[in-house]
Amino acid sequence: MDDDLEIVKKQGDLAEMLSKEDLDPYSVQELKVRKSLLEQEIKRTKSKIESANDHLSAAENLFK
């Protein structure tokens, strides 16, 4: 898992930058909006992972 994090860090990942951001200046409403946006991004990322896995499975089946 640490190796995976290193790959992300090398890409200059915005999620890592967000994780280090000071949240103190934000209001509760701003934090709720931020949380909602992050949840949407998680859904989008999960969808991409599922799509990539489906694509990989199809490719593997093709060469069996």
> The whole model's pTM is what?
0.68
User: Residue 16: which of 26, 2, 25, 5 has the closest Cα?
Assistant: 5
Residue 15 resides in a domain: no
pLDDT of residue 13: 81
**What's the pLDDT band for 5 if we cut at 50, 70, 90?**
low
| Count of the separate structural domains present in the chain | 1
Q: Is residue 41 part of a domain?
A: yes
Is 48 part of a structural domain of the chain?
Answer: yes
Number of H helices and number of E strands within the chain?
Answer: 3, 0
Tell me: the pLDDT tens digits for 41-63? Answer: 999 999 999 999 988 887 778 78
Per-residue confidence (pLDDT) for residue 26, from 0 to 100? 98
